[in-house]
Structure 1
């Protein structure tokens, strides 16, 4: 029955919960995008979801066994109502970046395609050998 009436803590948490929920739903995770890494016999395939981006705004880099994906998007809009002489100008800039350690890659044959918001990167293995696991005894 006591949970029917709001407590002081409920009121103090209201602002945090309101903005966390509202911003989380509208803006998602800042700096993150959904990524899948698939291991095949001869390559790793990285699939990154970047809806609304263009391939000109995406940078890929592979250095020291680290794959870096960076995407930037800038938007600008102007509105003018001549009757009221009202002017509104909005600008926004978003940047996303992820890094993954992927070793033993044939750097000269890395390929990438971008189609309908899905970035697909193929990283061929340098020496495609099956990995053998070794059981380690605990002393």
Structure 2
């Protein structure tokens, strides 16, 4: 019985789609370092109305006391720590894991300054919601075109 097959160098190159395979490429590269700290993403949504900026950040698996927020003029910084529990039964071993843990950090600028004394934060169901009132400095005004 002959199990040899002919190698076609163009077949594997023709099936490679760099856009579709990027995620799998990084997963493949990370497999040898199974216990490495792979930092998760901190995804945010920012919206505004006339008087307030609204920020929502996804922080699943984080305790309230592990979240730190700092405001400086128009700069918002959010950091948090995701802790991983190592509760395994005796004789049990980990085969595959995608849940990440470690320190998260995100810093971004808003178009205008924030009144840090009136800012508020709420954390519920893994979502951090920041209400950041715009600073009323009187320097902004509308100019009509004549």
Normalized against structure 1, the TM-score is what? Answer: 0.65
Alignment of 1:26-105 (within 5 A): 30-81=39-90, 86=91, 93-102=101-110, 103-105=112-114
Runs of 4 or more above 6 Å deviation? 128-131
Q: Is the 8 A contact 1:51 1:118 kept in 2?
A: yes
Gaps (5+ residues) in structure 1? 11-15, 135-139
Shift of 1:106: 1.4
Q: Which has the higher strand share?
A: 1
Q: Which has the higher helix share?
A: 1
Shift of 1:93: 4.0
Q: Is the 8 A contact 1:31 1:97 kept in 2?
A: no
Q: Is the 8 A contact 1:45 1:122 kept in 2?
A: yes
Count of residue pairs brought into register by the alignment: 121
1:5 matched to 2:11? The reply is yes
Match of 2:121 in 1: 112
List per-residue Cα deviations over 1:64-114 (Å, max 9, x = no partner): 431100010121314343xxxx4769xx74111111112322121000101
C-alpha RMSD of matched pairs (Å): 4.0
Normalized against structure 2, the TM-score is what? Answer: 0.62
